[in-house]
Each structure stands twice: as structure tokens, then as C-alpha cells.
Amino acid sequence: MANYSVEIKGNNSLSNIALAIAGEEATGAEFVRSSISFHESEITNLATFNDLPPGQRPQTPLVLVKQGDPAPVGKPAVWAGVMLVSGANMAITAYR
């Protein structure tokens, strides 16, 4: 599987970031992690994805939750870190 990164602008809301990730996963990729980076003259989120084999999609949707909010029932955490959300650093956990 090949890894690649996609920029997700830091001025997006958490729900719009989740939509951007879902859109990328709809193309046959799976979210791995995100990092805050300086990219093309601005601070932004760089999300890393794995290409899945042809015709495959992630089995369950990714759910992003702000630290301190309740975790979704029955979904294990697959990533935790900091994202730029609505222009501010925010601790996020991803569940699948």
C-alpha cells in the first residue's frame, strides 16, 4: 500500500475536516494520521492516507471527536493528535 498526504485547510470546522477525510476515503483510501505542517506558505493539516486495493473502501466511517467530548460507543480509537480546526489547535481523537 502506498502512503500519500492531502492538505486539509486549518480554517475548516471539525465537521468539514471529517467530510474532507470521508471524501478521500470514498476514492479507495484509508486515513492513517494527520499532522500540522507548514505547507505552501501557510500552517495547515496534512492528512496521510493509505491506498487500498482496487474496489476496497474502509469498512466503517471515521469519526473525529474533540478531546473531552464523549467517545462513540463500540468504536476503538485509531489515531489521536492535534489538528488545526477553525484556525486553532485542537486535540482530536479518531475512532473507527
Tens of pLDDT, residue by residue over 34-53, are: 999 998 899 999 999 999 99
Is the pLDDT at 16 greater than 70, yes or no? yes
Is the pLDDT at 3 greater than 80, yes or no? yes
Residue 87: predicted pLDDT: 96
Residue ranges making up the domain that contains 8: 3-95
Rounded Cα gap, residues 16 and 12, in angstroms? 6
Q: How far is CA 8 from the centre of its chain?
A: 9
Rounded Cα gap, residues 58 and 18, in angstroms? 14
| Mean pLDDT value across residues 19-39 | 96
Is the pLDDT at 92 greater than 80, yes or no? yes
Mean pLDDT, the chain, integer = 96
Residue 39: predicted pLDDT: 86
Rounded Cα gap, residues 20 and 8, in angstroms? 7
Rounded Cα gap, residues 52 and 64, in angstroms? 21
Is the pLDDT at 1 greater than 80, yes or no? no
**Secondary structure element (H or E) that encloses residue 20, with its range:** helix 14-25
| Mean pLDDT value across residues 21-44 | 95
> Which is it for strands 42-51 and 3-8: parallel, antiparallel or unpaired?
antiparallel
Region of 19 please: left (phi>0), alpha (psi -120 to 50) or beta: alpha
C-alpha cell read off for 33: 494520521
- Total structural domains in the chain? 1
